[in-house]
Structure 1
Amino acid sequence: MKRLHWILLLMILLIPTESISAKKKTEKSDREIWCDVMYRMAAPVLSNMSEGLLKQNMLVELSPTWDGRNQNVTYMECFGRLMAGLAPWLSLPDDETPEGLQRKQLREWALKSYANAVDPASPDYLLWRQENQTLVDAAFLAESFLRSYDALWMPLDSITKQRYIAEFTDLRRVDPSYSNWLLFSATVESFLRKAGAPSDTYRISSSLRKIEEWYVGDGWYSDGPRFAFDYYNSFVIHPMYIEALEIITEAGKREKIGNMPGCNFHEAIRRAQRFGVILERLISPEGTLPVFGRSITYRTGSLQTLALLAWRNWLPEELSNGQVRAAMTAVIQRMFGDGRN
């Protein structure tokens, strides 16, 4: 009986030890978690679009409150925003790791998808010429080229490049609303400037001047004349303001731009750093974020400014790389970890 007692005790001690050991062997690193979620999002879009099959195979669900606009804007919205987020990672060199193989595959698909997006003969030619919404989504495509110019723009063939320049230039037909939309014009024109194509400097400078006027303090910009408490400072304003300023000031080498009083590249980064501190503090230990403002369905897009600061090595002293990575990983796992979202 005594022997049986010790055997049972030994089994009790060994069971949790073995479970913990197995868990450690299968536990993914933060980077693996990010890459897996990213691949799960990107592969269905790019694998189909690279073959001209996105419109054919993409399931589109419309909200009960759909406003009746042309639903074909969906495809550029999907492709543009995906590539704006994916671009920095695709600029990394190839290697034979599982991550490297995924990256190489996605880049190959992306380059073919970029070509199909502006090829009138492709079934996946995007809705460039009809809707004002095109300015918004084209700006995210332009942003992807700004973020990964050598890896995503330079490999495109000359005809595809000419088509993009023509489509981007044609967007001057859109009169942007008096809001963050000004930055969409500025981003498109900033890319044209970087690519050596004719650009409209006034559309850049006038937009940046207005955004500067709308700075209200403590890292926050107003989205138009009236302040709105939402995540658009992260979805659009901080990233696109900084990136457009980076082009027109040559990364701050030109401290003062004559027709842009107050617009300062380095000051814009400092404001984004303050906003990044606020964003990081909004993340709970459980990986949740407060839900407020419009477009909350953009989900982790609400953390774009924080991600930009980490990627560009601009995090303030108050935030360490590990701290930000852990916080954002918690949000990603909370939001996408169970495979239902």
Structure 2
Amino acid sequence: MAGIKYFFGLMLLIATGAVAQQANSGKESRKYFVTTLTKIAHPVLDALSKNRLKLDMPVETSPNAYGDRDKVTYLEAFGRTLSGMAPWLELGADTTDEGKLRQQYIKLALQCIDNATNPKAADFMNFIDGGQPLVDAAFLAQALIRAPHQLWDPLEPRVKQNVLMALKSTRGISPAYTNWLLFTGMIEAAILKFDAEGLADMVRLEYALNKHNEWYLGDGVYGDGPDFHYDYYNSFVIQPMILDILLVLKDKEETLKNWRYKTDYIDNYGTFLERSRRYASIQERLISPEGTYPAIGRSLAYRVGAFQALSQMALLQELPYGVSPAQVRCALQAIIKKQMEAPGTFDAKGWLTIGFYGHQPEIGEPYISTGSLYLCTEAFLVLGLPQEAAFWSAPDALYTQQQIWGGKKAQIDHAYYPTDKKK
């Protein structure tokens, strides 16, 4: 296929730096991010666009895996890939080499959305059988919310109806009393945003926000349910989904002017943003000078997806006081390079393998399979910032642990309290 050959060739040019060489290191970093993201995403989107995902994608599982992963892994791969890629796609096509590459992936993504939600398609996905489809329907919903102009507006009415039907079909799945409540909230946020009839179940959305507000533990951290969990779920799911749900509510403020919880969540958006700023500052400090970070908690096979919250705050241009966009770029690039270039991370055909550093199937929990791994794309949300943004245009900067362990001038850390006035 000529288009596929074109963007594979373009990927090679970007990787070798042969396209429009720039002296600025930020521009070279962007090329690296684009190349790495498309390397991860291409096998998923290419296969699904041809209705071949169920035929072509391997289903690797952990040694103690649940027995139903082949029923859910495909929606995992698609929803998660698109959620992380969406901000980049939302920039749209243009005449640059990167813009032409985006155009190719936008076309692939639109065809994938059709195939994934068309009951007559070979790759029609499972939205109702088991609990897992609720999770990954939410990631698909999040992708649409993050790129409405490129991933929703161009869809044919038939496809839009199929998508809404697929999302609504997950209402039969009961969420766990954990971060899973946000999956119901995210799905309803997408229905609120895109359904012309406005038939969102606001109780599901309200319950998710109310419980997580109740579960806020302080210093920028939420419980995963009522209890504290020392893992990366504040970044994998909790903080990014809370903010994306709230942004939909803010966008619908006029429609929701008489909503019971308007004061708590629309008017009080800044409180949730401040919590996420603090969490982003913690995340930035977790990245070592060598580009490593603590392997703590469950779902480590999501790799750099552990830093979705930091990437999202950079995308929103809401980084904490004293943390520059350039140092976040360098910190994220360090962990992406460390993990995604580890030998064995991809199989011979380009699919991700289970592991934290390379291929380590034993590190996967029973719910982990090949599709799960594509949550790593969430580290690439920053590609939604245009090339001229400070994140990409500023020269390299030392991130916090490089400053400290290099004996450089560094900034002290302190806990976040709601009365803090620093921005």
Partner of 2:271 in structure 1? 267
* TM-score (structure 1 length as normaliser): 0.88
Match among 296, 300, 306 for residue 296 of structure 1: 300
Answer whether contact 1:251 1:265 (CA < 8 A) is retained.
no
Q: Deviations over 1:60-83 (max 9, x none)?
A: 112111022242200000000000
Given that 1:249 and 1:257 are in contact with CA atoms closer than 8 Å, whether structure 2 keeps it comes out as no
Match in the other structure for 1:202: 203
Instruction: Give the match for residue 330 of structure 2.
Output: 326
Change (3 A) 1:216 1:257: farther
Contact map agreement 2:292 2:338 (CA 8 A) in 1:
yes
Distance in 2 separating the partners of 1:132 and 1:234: 21
Q: Which moved more, 1:121-130 or 1:217-226?
A: 121-130
Query: Does the 8 Å contact 1:135/1:174 carry over to 2?
Result: yes
Deviation at 1:154, TM superposition (A): 0.8
Report SS of the residue matched to 1:205.
helix
Aligned to 2:247: 246
After superposition, what is the alpha-carbon deviation per residue over 1:182-213, rounded to whole angstroms, capped at 9, x for unaligned? 00000000010011341101111111000000
Cα distance, 1:102 vs structure 2 = 2.0
1:291/1:255 Cα in 2 relative to 1: closer, same or farther (>3 Å)? farther
Going by fraction, where is helix more abundant, 1 or 2?
Answer: 1
CA deviation string 1:273-317 (max 9, x = no partner): 000000000000111011100001111111101111111111122
Aligned equivalent of 2:414: none
| 1:1-341 equivalences in 2 (<5 Å) | 29-196=28-195, 197-250=198-251, 258-259=260-261, 262-263=264-265, 264-338=268-342, 340-341=344-345
Alignment TM-score, normalising by the size of structure 2: 0.71
1:73-108 per-position Cα deviation (integer Å, ceiling 9, x unaligned): 000000000000000000113234332222111111
Q: Which residue identity lines up with residue 242 of structure 2 in the other structure?
A: Y
Larger Rg: 1
CA contact (8 A) 1:138 1:188 kept: yes
Relative distance call for 1:180 and 1:261 in structure 2 (3 A) is farther
Structure 2 counterpart of 1:286, one-letter code: E
In structure 2, C-alpha distance between the alignment counterparts of 1:48 and 1:319, rounded to whole Å: 40
Give the unaligned 5+ runs of structure 1.
1-23
CA distance in 1, matches of 2:243, 2:170: 21
How far did residue 261 of structure 1 move?
7.0
CA distance 1:70–1:322, change in 2 (3 Å): closer
1:88–1:147 Cα contact (<8 Å) kept: yes
Conserved? CA contact 1:208–1:260, under 8 Å: no
Structure 2 Cα separation of the partners of residues 94 and 251 of structure 1: 27
Where 1:78 maps in the other structure, the secondary structure is: helix
Query: Percent identity over the alignment?
Result: 39
| Worse-superposed segment, 45-54 or 331-340 | 331-340
> Highest relative contact order (Cα 8 Å, sep 6+), 1 or 2?
2
Amino acid at match of 1:231: Y
Residues in 2 aligned to 1:308 and 1:65: alpha-carbon distance in whole angstroms: 33
Query: How far has the Cα of 1:236 moved from its partner?
Result: 0.4
Matches of 1:255 and 1:318, distance apart in 2: 36
How many residue pairs are counted as aligned between the two chains?
317
